[in-house]
Amino acid sequence: MDGRIHTSQPAVVKRLRRVEGHLRSVLAMIESGRPCLDIAQQLHAVERAVAEAKRTLIRDHLDHCLDTTGNTAAERRASIAEVKAIARYL
């Protein structure tokens, strides 16, 4: 990111903190010998929550980046390069 706080950052941080707690719960499930199906379901939920946080963050960044592409050709090229770089993570 560019160091600035984007609109979605507080929501993404909140979601990832919930994911962090959920992942600790999954670790406890593994350590206590819970059934693999239960663990797999919970890991799937963690994975989806992380993916959604990532999508939200990237979309917000793209919206911000595209809104501030700049006036010069060099600034526009830099913005396009940044979009291409972050799009790899979608």
Is 66's pLDDT higher than 80?
no
The predicted-structure confidence for 74-84, as pLDDT tens digits, reads as follows 877 887 787 88
The predicted-structure confidence for 9-53, as pLDDT tens digits, reads as follows 899 999 999 999 999 999 999 999 999 999 999 999 999 999 999
- Domains in the chain, please, with CATH? 9-87 (1.20.58.1000)
pLDDT of residue 27: 97
User: Which pTM value belongs to this model?
Assistant: 0.74
Report CA-CA distances (Å) from 31 to 14, 21, 25, 39, 66. 26, 15, 10, 11, 46
